Structure 1
Amino acid sequence: MEWKIAVDKDWSTLENKFSWVKDMEKVQQDPWHHAEGNVAIHTQLVLQQLQELPEYQKLNLQKQELIWASALLHDVEKRSTTIIGSDGRISSPNHAKKGAKTTREILFRDVETPFAIREQIVSLVRYHGLPLWLMEKADPMKSALEASLAVNMSQLKLLAEADAKGRYCRDLDALLYALDMFELYSKEVGCWNGPRPFLTENAQFTYFNGNDNYVDYVPFDTFKSTVIVLSGLPGMGKDYHIQKMNADMPIISLDDIRRKYRIDPTDKKKNGWVIQEAKEQAKKYLRCGQDFIWNATNITSQMRQQLIDLFVGYQAYVKLLYIEKPYQVWRTQNRDREYPLPDAVLDKMLGSLDVPQLTEAHEVQYFTT
């Protein structure tokens, strides 16, 4: 049975079912690029154009549903990012990035969605503008290869084509030309039919995180230790997962440090000290080449990058494990914990969640059952 964001796709039904669909009619767009009107009008035109595309019609039903949901959600956060400049022009900076987070929340909390499907939709929303602007990026190859690790590039082009045709604008021919260039360039760099393969995990990690942008560079693997980094919202079962691993490795746990010194998790000032204390413990292990596990929420990419940069600086191989349970299971597990967190705190953390991407560490694994 195919997953669907909604069985009844009538627009008025969607407005009644989802408040974020209803919000779209209140969001104006710049007449130069969107003379059709507000986001609701634009989104309906995009959905119509998408279903008329021959390449969309060739897809199986599940892929059609996936891209349809992405089209419905692609501009969901224009509602919170739209601004009117001093010149009267309307823009929505970073609406795709913020929209991806909102999409994840909706498909995790409100519409039960399998992890793999959800994250494909999130990535389509996140990158939906890339096909139009790829060649203006500082490093088009790296941007294309990074996106291809998260999203199918041909599906991304379909969404972008529907987005371009689902508007009244003066530069449609230029947009469609950019889409053709996106396909040609993706094929040229080897990521149109799937991610471009790297010879080693370290080669991929170094390309996306190092200063040397040569895509075929293969560094020597001179690892002195392995660090396993846990990532997941509180109450997802990270401690239980570590127990199941049965790994004979020391564990650095931020929760354990807080409890030892009786520090409230919401005390930002003292939690800064907790993190520094944990890092000092990590450095001791790193200096002597000792493998260890870093057990903390690590729910934002910025938080993880700071840690991984530290570990890699000591020539560690970093294995990043993301733990997730379905929404209702998660809430139940939190309530049953010895130290449960308030629902309001969990909601705020969910809004900040960045699911780890394959570029972040030498190895990234997802445990989502």
Structure 2
Amino acid sequence: MLTYDALRQAVPAPNGQIAWGSLLPMLPDVAALSVVPQDPVFHAEGNVLIHTQMVCEALVTLKPYQEADADRRFVLFYAALLHDIAKWSCTITDEHGRIRSPGHSKRGAVDTRILLWRAGVPFTLRERICRIILQHQTPFFAIKGSRSGDSAEFIVRKLSWEVNLLELAAVAEADILGRVCDDNADVLVNIELFRELAMEEGCFESPRAFPDPHTRLTYFRTSGGIAPDYPFHQEPGSLVTVLAGLPASGKNTWVDKYGGGLPVISFDDAREELGLKHGTSAGAAVHLAVDRAKELLRKKASFIWNATNISHLMRTKCLDLLLAYGAEVTIVYLESPEHTIKQRNNKRDTTLTNAAIDKMLHRWEVPLESEAHDVRYQA
């Protein structure tokens, strides 16, 4: 069984040797990357495992790794080691015969979250790793802006609320040094420009400053459509706490302890009221819950939204509704170990099975600080 202690002991010293002989048997999903091919145009070094090993070997020689404390070395090393872990499931050969791995960063962040959660890695360290993996390619092109038209400044400002940019840039640099490709020099320049821009914005190692949470959230949600350095007026609205977390992670207990008697919007309650089981006629329960939320929002009344909200897509639908009515939103994310969740679920009066919870893990995206006025973690 993979453990945090074993992972910690395997982290190499700066400029140290990586114990591949013991590390790969401990992480079979990484070892399996030896059979996953890569496009020789961008990865002439060979398969994904060869690339991964080259990335890690490059990382331990870099200044950010050499100057890091033990926690940061843990984060940087496992972000590098696991950054392409999802290529085994995402790699395809397209109609032109080119090898691609669409979506491997997003899938890799989720796969890593599950792996490290089960290993008992502390929440903060785990999420730092997952966030780097999610964005590990962004420094390659951010300085040129995004395909959707976002400026480099916007990308850096928002990203600084989601990931430590020093750590992200270090892994991105190692990623390029660990491949054989004609454009390596150009990409390394882009990464250095990304660093310089983050430093200019004052957000290389901490989130970019904003006048207040509402200005920050509005700036992010409008893709930089307002001035980031001047307060953006906020009309009074409902104060809404949105709970998020896997089933049986403690959301109902949180309501009982901290809810203060506020109204609670819950899909589970709506489903129970309608006499529905999990996975059947979910639309009717959602419709009922949303109608009740809208009624409270029109009254500018405070309430709690109690749902799993484990995927970014589902939270976005919820937040879009709340913010359209001018609500001020706090996300409270709760988490428990897997064995605790499944023991609790077995004892609950519910039609949701532990097998169904296992399937939900593959949509598990922990809320980011950029998503709401305030995001709090209880894990």
Same structural fold, with TM-score higher than 0.5 when normalized by the shorter chain? yes
Name the residue aligned to 2:306.
295
Query: Is 1:52 aligned to residue 61 of structure 2?
Result: yes
- 2:282 maps to a residue whose letter is N
Name the residue aligned to 1:348.
359
- 1:98 maps to a residue whose letter is R
Residue 244 (structure 2) aligned to one of 219, 223, 231: 231
Shift of 1:246: 4.2
Shift of 1:210: 2.7
Aligned equivalents of 2:43 and 2:133: distance in 1?
19
- CA-based RMSD of the aligned residues comes to 1.7
Name the residue aligned to 1:24.
33
- 1:240 maps to a residue whose letter is T
Residues 1-369 of structure 1 correspond to what in structure 2 (within 5 A)? Answer: 5=7, 7-8=9-10, 10-109=19-118, 111-136=119-144, 137=146, 138-139=149-150, 140-210=152-222, 212-267=225-280, 270-339=281-350, 341-368=352-379
Does the aligned pair in 1 maintain the 2:259–2:304 contact within 8 Å?
Answer: no
Shift of 1:341: 2.7
Aligned equivalents of 1:307 and 1:130: distance in 2?
27
User: How many matched pairs?
Assistant: 364
Q: What's the TM-score once normalised by structure 2's chain length?
A: 0.92
User: Counterpart of 2:7 in 1: which secondary structure?
Assistant: coil
Aligned equivalents of 2:232 and 2:5: distance in 1?
42
- Cα distance, 1:129–1:4 mapped onto 2, change above 3 Å: farther
Moved more, 241-250 or 208-217: 208-217
Aligned equivalents of 1:340 and 1:325: distance in 2?
20
Does the aligned pair in 2 maintain the 1:132–1:160 contact within 8 Å?
Answer: yes
Q: Deviations over 1:141-183 (max 9, x none)?
A: 2221222112211111111111111111112211221111111
Shift of 1:218: 2.0
Q: What's the TM-score once normalised by structure 1's chain length?
A: 0.94
User: Counterpart of 2:167 in 1: which secondary structure?
Assistant: helix
Does the aligned pair in 1 maintain the 2:8–2:74 contact within 8 Å?
Answer: no
- 2:133 maps to a residue whose letter is V
User: Counterpart of 1:5 in 2: which secondary structure?
Assistant: helix
Aligned equivalents of 1:289 and 1:124: distance in 2?
38
Shift of 1:102: 0.7
Aligned equivalents of 2:100 and 2:251: distance in 1?
41
Gaps of 5+ in 2: 11-17
Q: Deviations over 1:236-271 (max 9, x none)?
A: 11000011104131112211121122101111xx11
Moved more, 322-331 or 62-71: 322-331
- Cα distance, 1:298–1:46 mapped onto 2, change above 3 Å: same
- Cα distance, 1:48–1:217 mapped onto 2, change above 3 Å: same
- 2:205 maps to a residue whose letter is N
Aligned equivalents of 1:337 and 1:86: distance in 2?
49
